[in-house]
Amino acid sequence: MIERELYLSKIRPFIGKDIVKVLTGIRRCGKSVMLELIQRELKKAGIPKTMFLSINFESRALAFTKSADAAYGYIREYAKSHEGKLYLFLDEIQELEGWETFINSCMIDFDCDIYITGSNAKLLSGELATYLAGRYVEFKVYPFSFQEAFELLPGYSNADAFQLYLRRGGMPFLYQFPMEEESVKQYLGDIYDSIILKDIVTRYRIRDVEQFKRMLMYLISNIGNIFSAANITKYMKSEFRGISTETLYNYMDYCKNACLLHLVPRHDLIGKKLLQFQDKIYLTDHGIREAIYGNNLRDVNQTLENIVYMELLRRGYEVAVGKNRSFEVDFVAKKGSKKEYYQVAYLLASEETVQREFGAFRGIDDNFPKFVLSLDEFDFSRDGYQHLNIRDFLLKPS
């Protein structure tokens, strides 16, 4: 079991504190394992295992997972038979109807330390935020970074490991033991189907499932490109699946809520304004794209952009796309008072490419670092702008 210190280091200061720890992220990205790692931390601190109570609300094997009242009653009885602070680990809590009031009641009525997970990015936007105002902290969990995947690929060079990562993405299960590519695709395809069925179609009562799937496939094929409602409606019309703009934006919100897609805003770096309706699209896990659409290696520039975007999120940055006159800056990453600019390319194979990638920074008159990332082995740094190999960037400490 990989330690995932990136997340543990953020969670550790809140362990044992009277505040609900909320872990959100796409299905199968490792949230349940994070709960196990937290329990391991508690055991090291001398907390007996008998004080841990773990419940997975996706399970229907236990009757008390079906209603909030039954779950509350079970915890109450468990608390009665155990003296001291109870540590509650509640997995996929969104499956329990009325879970917001249930969590609030547990906090009020029991001496407990609560950890919950959910596969919905909007977990905290509703009643829970009202009930627990100031009494929760959220941690976003993502699939494996390249660094984490590489740790579990002994005997691989970082170049060979990266080739594998480009195709497979970062779902933790794929790195536990050797797998054939066909099995990898089946596993990722099953995750995709589960997200669509459980987290989107059923939750939001989508009637025209085929229309939704075709729209989503279009978005997935166009990761790293500027989103245009007009282009999508035109494509859907060509597929004889007309779609209204309102329905389109609703579908996209559902995908964002399910932690599947990210829409990244585009900013004018000179005019200092947000450019409306000019977002870019990225996937939480690029391996899903390979499994259901293919072409990660053919569309390597898009795939590399996706990988770098997700890495910046893991490192705690807020990320936007920048427009610098006629140039585009792939990513403007901010964290507190810190800011960094990134260009991502497959190879700087010609002088024209070099001029385009480095030229995107010209006219940005600040002293923040500006990086061009590519898979070139030679250092092309120039004019105060740094060039890094993408693998080296992904493997360096954040």
- The per-residue DSSP string of 184-251 comes to HHHHHHHHHHHIIIIIIIHHHT-S-HHHHHHHHHHHHHTTTSBP-HHHHHHHHHHTT----HHHHHHH
- pTM higher than 0.75: yes
* β-pair type (112-118, 20-24): parallel
Percentage of the chain lying above the pLDDT 70 cut = 97
pLDDT at residue number 63: 86
CA distance 221 to 292: 10
Residue with tokens 């349940």: 32
Q: Assess contact for 168 and 189: CB atoms under 8 A.
A: no
Q: 100-157: per-residue pLDDT in tens?
A: 889 999 999 999 999 999 998 887 776 667 777 778 999 999 999 999 999 999 999 9
3-state secondary structure of 294: coil
pLDDT at residue number 276: 63
pLDDT at residue number 133: 75
3-state SS, 312-359, equals: HHHCCCEEEEEEECCEEEEEEEEECCEEEEEEECCCCCCHHHHHHHHH
> What are the phi and psi torsion angles at 279 (to 5°)?
-80, 160
Percentage of the chain lying above the pLDDT 90 cut = 83
CA distance 316 to 367: 21
User: Which of 280, 290, 288, 374 is CA-nearest to residue 332?
Assistant: 280
Mean pLDDT for 71-98 is: 95
pLDDT above 90 (res 217): yes
pLDDT above 90 (res 269): no
Q: 284-316: per-residue pLDDT in tens?
A: 999 999 999 999 999 999 999 999 999 999 999
Q: Which of 226-235, 340-349, 382-391 has the lowest mean pLDDT?
A: 226-235
Residue 324's CB is within 10 A of a number of other CB atoms, namely 19
How confident is residue 243, by pLDDT bands cut at 50, 70 and 90? Answer: very high
Query: Which residues, including other chains, have CB under 8 Å from residue 395's CB and lie 6 or more apart?
Result: 146, 147, 150, 158
For every residue of 20-76, DSSP letters joined together read EEEEE-STTSSHHHHHHHHHHHHHHTT--GGGEEEEETT--SSGGGS-HHHHHHHHH
Look at 129 and 353; give whichever has higher pLDDT.
Answer: 353
Q: What is the mean pLDDT of the chain?
A: 94
> What are the phi and psi torsion angles at 275 (to 5°)?
-90, 115
Query: Which residues, including other chains, have CB under 8 Å from residue 276's CB and lie 6 or more apart?
Result: none
CA distance 121 to 139: 11
What is the amino acid identity at position 163? Q
Mean pLDDT for 153-177 is: 96
Q: Assess contact for 236 and 214: CB atoms under 8 A.
A: yes
Q: 272-285: per-residue pLDDT in tens?
A: 766 666 789 999 99
